[in-house]
Chain A
């Protein structure tokens, strides 16, 4: 077993795997550590697969637009695995005037930054997707949004990084980062000590406790959210769907099954035993939401439900940043449930930071020290 590499990545989710792959392409040696037995067992394998630009925070939108324009279209070819990417649009649905106001606000902020997204009425919605109920009176429509398979994208990055010589060790729970002569140098796990010139911390909410060992904190919370999947159905539609109220979101996969995520409204207050367990009230609630929008799915059978944590950052966008007080440490966390769609570009940006190169996009909005008290 090798304990030294130029870069140590803590967290084997899609961010860690994509970064490892991009670094390996630069011929930089990498070790990836994950506390779980399986690679990508957190949000990377549990999200709804959205590759969305619309509805993003304006600070995060440039990353999503770059990924959609330059990276997602070639990702299957690049990774040698079909990541089931579909750039066939996103409908964010509204049923009330209040919904339409929310959607109009999101749309105005995105078009100001150059995104092709517009408001359409109920009739136009049903021309794009005839399965949507008459309750839908309007939507925002972004034709370049889409979806992909998060399981295959995550494992595809892992497979390719591993083939390029990246060393992955799972079951390695990191307890501390240690500075030597003022710079981040060692990663201490429960079983081993690893050493690198750069350390990238990308382990979701768990990043917080690890960052604390070098005196750094990011204000975020850990929310357990849920998703479900139906049996395979005949092909119905190819768009990604969401709603103004965010009561559910989802798409039909290549396999034919529908994957939908949603919330009961109790997410921040539910009993939480630290494991990714589903709550009995959530999936039925998601089903009720879906049936109002897509009545035809009432007879589709739910095969499986699951839960996953999202690391919700205080201001809704991630921290992707070098740390002034801890040279050598790079933090990537707080993706707030929308990390999957931007993961290909985040992997490139983190690899550029670790390699000491100029980043493709301006990263100042993602700094770790941007948080200010309210007054």
Chain B
């Protein structure tokens, strides 16, 4: 069974590290220690970490921190980062004002 699938896996106790205070996701201000603890709380996939802590959910959409988060989670799970799927990319790829996004269709007869 792949590492991420067996949620009964014993990871050992959470041991604090000196650099746990380091900011990893700058947009949402999530630290390395929070990510490590989340893994011990059972969040084994990048999608779960993201939903639990908001890593990669800020303005840059994880372009800065995605690889760092992946490495930290892999270290905590004692697996290769390659075993972890990245979180899904979501449109629009850059934040867009609602009034601009809405212009996909012009106001007119076909839209009441």
Task: Enumerate chain A interface residues (CB-CB to B < 8 A).
Answer: 1-2, 37-41, 45, 151-152, 154-155, 158-159, 162, 167-172, 191, 230-231, 255, 278, 280-281, 283-285, 287-288, 290-291, 297-306
Do B97 and A170 touch (CB < 8 A)?
Answer: no
In angstroms, Cα B1 to Cα A351, docked, is 28
- The verdict on B23 contacting chain A, using a C-beta distance below 8 Å, is no
Chain B interface, >50% SS class: loop
Do A305 and B97 touch (CB < 8 A)?
Answer: no
Q: Which residues of B (82-105) have their CB < 8 Å from a CB of A?
A: 85, 88, 90-92, 95-99, 101-105
In angstroms, Cα B103 to Cα A302, docked, is 13
Do B101 and A287 touch (CB < 8 A)?
Answer: yes
Q: How far is the CB of A11 from chain B (nearest CB, A)?
A: 15
Q: Which residues of B contact A1 (CB under 8 A)?
A: 1, 6, 8
Interface residues on B, range: 35 or more
Do B95 and A303 touch (CB < 8 A)?
Answer: yes
Do B97 and A301 touch (CB < 8 A)?
Answer: yes
In angstroms, Cα B52 to Cα A303, docked, is 18
Do B98 and A290 touch (CB < 8 A)?
Answer: yes
In angstroms, Cα B104 to Cα A288, docked, is 10
Q: How far is the CB of B17 from chain A (nearest CB, A)?
A: 22
Q: How far is the CB of A331 from chain B (nearest CB, A)?
A: 24
Q: Which residues of A contact B91 (CB under 8 A)?
A: 278, 280, 283, 304-305
- The verdict on B41 contacting chain A, using a C-beta distance below 8 Å, is yes
- The verdict on B47 contacting chain A, using a C-beta distance below 8 Å, is yes
Do A169 and B6 touch (CB < 8 A)?
Answer: yes
Would A305 and B92 be within 8 Å (CB), given that A37-B4, A169-B5 are in contact? yes
In angstroms, Cα B58 to Cα A367, docked, is 43
In angstroms, Cα B43 to Cα A291, docked, is 37
Do A2 and B90 touch (CB < 8 A)?
Answer: no
In angstroms, Cα B43 to Cα A1, docked, is 19
